[in-house]
């Protein structure tokens, strides 16, 4: 599942490629034929990301918002005029029969298209519908209007582990498995620690570190890195998957800070990683 910062990267891409332009839409798969027909020929006015939810606002009559949640397997792929893929997971079979929604803009060399596959939510909503969807979410550390106090109010009363609370989109919106493991490491907190036992300054550190690592990832076009250069082996500047994280998928390997073996456990139905020395219970 994409982490929430990828949705902010998607929002930027739409803004840059299609913002204030007339967009043509269709649904090759057919499952979103009515919605695509309703959007076709409208102008993209605005893009917003809240956690893992993308909203594209179009000109014209209500409903004006396209709401997309990628879920576990969904994703966008972008193409240029020559049908060269610009971004997204490489599409081996470029057959478009499983494309739920395709958006196109520009002519000739400037043509850009975005294809949506596999999303759990792809729907048109009015402003109230958008507000309802957003109201279910906790604050998103990447948004300027986010109020971390709303997340803290839930964390401090909860007996659930902080690693689970960070993944709960109603507490903080945007974290996936990478951030829910790396952020407690950066704050020196065991992810199993119940929310009620997390100190306010520890939560404040987690919030600010989450905002930092997520916004840095957005600036890299999505690539997640949490390690400080001082904690990585000398390389030619390229940071590989093995050096990008302190704990995520590093079970059995030595902690980059203290050498203790990184551990892994099930939390909820998904995995969490931590260093038992750097992250006291
Ligand atoms: Zn350690």
Give residue 265 CA to ligand 1 midpoint distance, Å. 16
Please state which CATH number belongs to domain 4-135: 3.20.190.10
Using the mean position of ligand 1's atoms as its centre, give its distance from the Cα of residue 147 in Å: 31
Contact call for residues 117 and 77 (beta carbons, < 8 A): yes
CA–centroid distance, residue 23 to ligand 1 (Å): 50
Per residue in 109-151, pLDDT (tens digit) is 889 999 999 999 999 999 999 999 999 999 999 999 999 999 9
pLDDT tens-digit profile of 72-115?
889 999 998 888 888 777 776 667 889 999 999 988 888 999 99
pLDDT for 158: 98
Tokens 């709960």 label which residue? 168
Q: List the structure tokens of 57.
A: 């606002």
Q: Are the folds of 4-135 and 148-274 the same?
A: no
Residue 232 is predicted with a pLDDT of 87
Burial label, 152 (beta-carbon count in 10 A; 0-12, 13-18, 19+): buried
- Residue 234's alpha-carbon distances to 63, 224, 242, 243, in angstroms, are 53, 19, 13, 10
261 Cα: distance to centroid of ligand 1 (angstroms):
8
Q: How far is the CA of 201 from the centre of ligand 1 (A)?
A: 20
Count of positions (residues) in the chain: 281
Q: Which residues are catalytic?
A: 2-3, 52, 270
Residue 264 CA to ligand 1 centre (angstroms): 13
* pLDDT computed for residue 81 by the predictor: 87
Q: How far is the CA of 191 from the centre of ligand 1 (A)?
A: 14
**Residue 24 host element (H or E):** strand 22-26
Residue-wise pLDDT for 207-242, tens only, equals: 999 999 999 999 999 999 999 999 987 777 788 888
Closest by Cα among 162, 215, 202, 252 to 5: 215
What's 34's DSSP letter?
H
Which one, of 14, 10, 65, lies nearest residue 39 by Cα?
65
The highest-level CATH class for domain 148-274 is mainly alpha
Residue 63 preceded by cis peptide, ω within 30: yes
**What residues does each domain of the chain span?**
4-135, 148-274
> Rounded to an integer, what distance in angstroms lies between the CA atom of residue 67 and that of residue 89?
21
């Amino acid at each position: 599942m994409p982490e929430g910062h990828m949705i902010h990267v998607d929002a930027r891409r739409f803004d840059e490629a299609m913002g204030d332009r007339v967009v043509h839409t269709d649904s090759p798969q057919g499952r979103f034929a009515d919605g695509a027909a309703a959007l076709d020929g409208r102008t993209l006015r605005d893009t917003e990301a809240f956690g893992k939810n993308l909203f594209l606002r179009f000109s014209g009559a209500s409903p004006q918002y396209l709401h997309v949640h990628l879920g576990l397997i969904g994703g966008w792929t972008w193409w240029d005029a020559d049908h060269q893929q610009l971004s997204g997971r490489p599409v081996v079979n470029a057959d478009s029969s499983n494309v739920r929604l395709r958006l196109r803009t520009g002519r000739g060399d400037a043509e850009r298209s975005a294809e949506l596959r596999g999303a759990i939510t792809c729907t048109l909503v009015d402003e109230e519908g958008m507000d309802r969807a957003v109201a279910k979410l906790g604050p998103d550390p990447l948004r300027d209007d986010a109020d971390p106090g709303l997340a803290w109010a839930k964390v401090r009363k909860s007996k659930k582990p902080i690693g689970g609370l960070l993944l709960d989109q109603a507490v903080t919106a945007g974290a996936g498995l990478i951030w829910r493991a790396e952020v407690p490491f950066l704050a020196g907190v065991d992810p199993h620690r119940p929310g009620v036992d997390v100190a306010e300054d520890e939560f404040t550190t987690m919030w600010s570190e989450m905002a930092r690592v997520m916004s840095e990832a957005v600036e890299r076009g999505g690539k997640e890195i949490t390690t400080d250069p001082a904690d990585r082996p000398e390389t030619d500047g390229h940071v590989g998957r093995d050096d990008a994280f302190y704990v995520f998928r590093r079970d059995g390997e030595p902690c980059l800070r203290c050498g203790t073996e990184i551990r892994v456990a099930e939390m909820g139905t998904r995995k969490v990683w931590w260093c038992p020395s750097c992250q006291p219970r």
